[in-house]
Structure 1
Amino acid sequence: MKIIHTIAELRTHLAAFKHPAFVPTMGNLHAGHLALVRQAKPLGDVVVVSIFVNRLQFLPHEDFDTYPRTWEADCQALDAAGCDVLFAPSEKELYPEPQAFTVQPPTDLANMLEGHFRPGFFGGVCTVVMKLFACVQPRVALFGKKDYQQLMVIQRMAQQFALPIEVIGGPTQRSDDGLALSSRNNYLSPAERVEAVQLSLALKAMAQALQAGATILPALEAVATEALEARGWKPDYLTVRQRSNLQTPSAAELPSLLTHSGLVLLAAARVGNTRLIDNLEI
């Protein structure tokens, strides 16, 4: 595995390849990231992974300074997973001057759910991803489905800018008990880690209720929210949305959407001080 820190060296090295496959990350890698690397392997003639903790997508009160940085372990894991090129630019390299030009996603997609609770988040994500796309110039890029709304935003961005990049979602990787793998799981205390599985269980309970005929979505979402609150969680949302656009379906639309696997259940909640997100397609 070749480690590259500058855009110039990256472009020189990649000039010999025609179909780079790209996996952007913020490091602190887990099995979900490595599954994306393995998924990328047959999709290009070189697999590039980036590690860059992007300041633009963190709110002032969020964990940019304390976000886990595990460089040596990440390098070893990527090498073992078959990564060919690790691109790890410094902040000065990627943002040599204040990033005045930014990419702002449409409000109807980016201001709901995660965008509502983390204002500006998707603008920061789109800006860094667009810049990384310009550096790597991949033909395919892979993102985990755990960040469901983020994947949709990036897919729409690539489509609207006519980027010659296929943006592919990788399946959410889970621990044996069902907890979605996340870099932020490292923040959980042992007791919180045991409790954390309740988020995925809440989504499964919502899915079972829908499949049993529930049609009043506000009531269904309230029951799920109150159940987590009773366990000490602080939910931001547990909601039923259409997979195609993340809009709330009407009661009349539910039967067809259930029949044609057109729904996704999304959740975000805090257990202790750690905010976890998850989703379930049905």
Structure 2
Amino acid sequence: MLQSAFFLECAFFIEILSRCCRKAVGKFSREGRQNMILCHKISELKEFVHQCKKEGKTIGLVTTMGALHEGHASLIKAAHAENDVTITTVFVNPTQFGPNEDYAKYPRTLPHDMKIAEAAGADLLFAPSPEEMYPHKDPTWVEVCGPITKVLCGRTRPIHFRGVATVCTKFFNLTECDRAYYGLKDAQQTQVLQRMVEDLFMNVTLRMMPIVREADGLAKSSRNVYLSPEEHKAALVLSRSLKHAKEAFDKGERSKAKLIAQVTDEIKSEPMSDIDYVEMYGMPGLTELDDTLTGKALLAVAVKFGKTRLIDNVVLEA
């Protein structure tokens, strides 16, 4: 009799516990998935992060604008390997697009992104709306000032890095991440974010990961889908010219002007190319360089093929 009562009591508590667990999980949308959580609300993300921190878990963050590819997957895999929990964001951030840029047509492929993120090891994917991230008409901005945001892409995209710095600050705060992962294809962005983290004493370590390329050498980018087959073939001149510049550097060429001219001439030899810039700056910090190179330098290019603007770079270190 006592045994029956005991088992009944156990069954009762198990049912109560099961209901509580179902209630907690129900606050997040798993979209039929067994592992990765999908959430859209800041309140849901905060609840998840609070529980992770309560359990003493480290958090790795990968911020993206979606249209995920192997480059993003490599960042998620790195975060998964180095942290207890990996959070990925998918948010096409309106504040980093200028008035004549491609915000409206930027690829939005959340079901595809979920598959890529989960396969790479993400534990939670946060996909908020613009209204969720920018609740006020006149938002607070985070802006890194000085030459670091005025050269390269900053010259023709004056509000871009303000939008990047602002949204990344929000994501760092919301996720309380220990580490955040960025690809070196966006080399200027990595330098801007590193400066921001240092200047604002943010408690996050930025991990800069190598450029991931397609088999033919083109740097992986969400914008590659805009290229026609002919434009894609033409765009291979970017990685090819940078590779040749590095070969010249490794053989002893130390003239900044000559290396820039070599890359410029090779890109111009491709009729479909329209050069925005071919420039070189010191790293870290994108500092001005003397013509004779010493230390570490970034050789960066931005070129349009048709209507698609692509960037690429190589780091040269004496």
Instruction: Please classify the TM superposition score into its range, dividing by the shorter chain length.
Output: over 0.9
- 1:219–1:106 Cα change, 3 Å: same
**Following the alignment from structure 2 to structure 1, what is the Cα–Cα distance between the partners of residues 256 and 101?**
31
**Following the alignment from structure 1 to structure 2, what is the Cα–Cα distance between the partners of residues 211 and 248?**
21
Instruction: Give the C-alpha shift of residue 92 in structure 1.
Output: 1.0
**Following the alignment from structure 1 to structure 2, what is the Cα–Cα distance between the partners of residues 223 and 78?**
39
Query: Aligned runs of 1:161-240 on 2, under 5 Å?
Result: 161-232=200-271, 233-240=273-280
- Residue deviations 1:83-136 (CA, integer Å, cap 9, x gap): 100001111111111243101112221011110021111001001111111211
**Following the alignment from structure 1 to structure 2, what is the Cα–Cα distance between the partners of residues 84 and 24?**
14
One-letter identity of the residue aligned with 1:221? I
8 Å CA contact 2:195–2:285 kept in 1: the answer is no
Give the aligned partner of residue 37 of structure 2. 2
Query: Aligned runs of 1:1-282 on 2, under 5 Å?
Result: 1-18=36-53, 19-232=58-271, 233-252=273-292, 254=293, 256-257=294-295, 262-282=296-316
8 Å CA contact 2:237–2:270 kept in 1: the answer is no
**Number of equivalent positions:** 276
- Residue deviations 1:185-229 (CA, integer Å, cap 9, x gap): 010001111121110111112222333343442343234223322
**Following the alignment from structure 1 to structure 2, what is the Cα–Cα distance between the partners of residues 243 and 114?**
16
- The CA RMSD measured in Å over matched residues stands at 1.4
SS in structure 1 of the partner of residue 51 of structure 2: coil
8 Å CA contact 2:281–2:299 kept in 1: the answer is yes
Instruction: Give the C-alpha shift of residue 243 in structure 1.
Output: 1.9
Instruction: Give the C-alpha shift of residue 239 in structure 1.
Output: 2.1
TM (normalized to structure 1)?
0.93
**Following the alignment from structure 2 to structure 1, what is the Cα–Cα distance between the partners of residues 218 and 310?**
10
Indicate the percent of aligned positions where both proteins have the same amino acid. Answer: 37
8 Å CA contact 2:79–2:86 kept in 1: the answer is yes
SS in structure 2 of the partner of residue 36 of structure 1: helix
**Following the alignment from structure 1 to structure 2, what is the Cα–Cα distance between the partners of residues 238 and 201?**
14
Higher relative contact order (CA 8 A, sep 6+): 1
**Following the alignment from structure 1 to structure 2, what is the Cα–Cα distance between the partners of residues 23 and 117?**
26
Give the aligned partner of residue 18 of structure 2. none
Structure 2: which 5+ runs fail to align? Answer: 1-35
**Following the alignment from structure 1 to structure 2, what is the Cα–Cα distance between the partners of residues 220 and 20?**
41
Structure 1: which 5+ runs fail to align? Answer: none
Give the aligned partner of residue 13 of structure 2. none
Deviates more, 1:211-220 or 1:11-20: 211-220
**Following the alignment from structure 1 to structure 2, what is the Cα–Cα distance between the partners of residues 209 and 44?**
39
Instruction: Give the C-alpha shift of residue 281 in structure 1.
Output: 1.5
SS in structure 2 of the partner of residue 197 of structure 1: helix
8 Å CA contact 2:218–2:236 kept in 1: the answer is yes
TM (normalized to structure 2)?
0.83
**Following the alignment from structure 1 to structure 2, what is the Cα–Cα distance between the partners of residues 278 and 55?**
23
